[in-house]
Amino acid sequence: MKVLGINHINIVLTEEQLAPQIDFYGQILGLTPGYRAPSTRNGAWLYSAHNDVALIHLSVIGTDTDVSGENHFHHIALTCADVDATLKVLTDKSIQYRLEQRNAPAMTQVFIIDPVGIRIELNFPEHSAQK
């Protein structure tokens, strides 16, 4: 696998926290909401004016107890290349993964969890895995 860069970070929050978070990242960092892939949850994708990739994904997941304290950081996503080689390494190393195909935007996504429990989303734009 070849990691090309950080794709986004995901922050989980409550419905009440969503607008203040959007305002904060807009006023402080100049990020603006833009296209967001279809989802069953409310949220926002925040973009820099200098990049067409959403740097921060905000995802509404529940109540204050669901997203309190350090639990706001949900996962990191990396843009990658060579999905088939990645799946071989994960299989050879007996690392469990979840595979998803996306259409908007087109990509293969592989989800894994690191040894301390951090979720990692590996995005392979416009590629389909050979199962």
Backbone angles phi, psi at 27, to 5 degrees: -75, -40
* pLDDT at residue 129 is higher than 70: no
pLDDT for the residue numbered 117? 73
Supply the pLDDT for residue 44: 96
pLDDT tens digits for 6-65? Answer: 889 988 888 988 999 998 888 877 889 999 999 888 999 999 887 788 988 999 987 666
Residue 121 has pLDDT above 70, yes or no: yes
CB 124 within 8 A of CB 80: yes
Ordered structural domains, the chain, with CATH: 2-125 (3.10.180.10)
C-alpha to C-alpha distance for 73 and 53, rounded to whole angstroms: 19
Instruction: Quick: pLDDT tens for 63-117.
Output: 666 655 556 777 888 888 889 988 998 899 898 999 999 887 788 999 988 765 7
Give whole-number Cα distances, 108 to 40, 95, 99, 100, in Å: 19, 18, 7, 6
* Cβ–Cβ under 8 Å, residues 119 and 113: yes
**What pLDDT, on a 0 to 100 scale, did the predictor assign at position 116?**
59
Q: What is the pLDDT of residue 27?
A: 85
pTM: 0.69
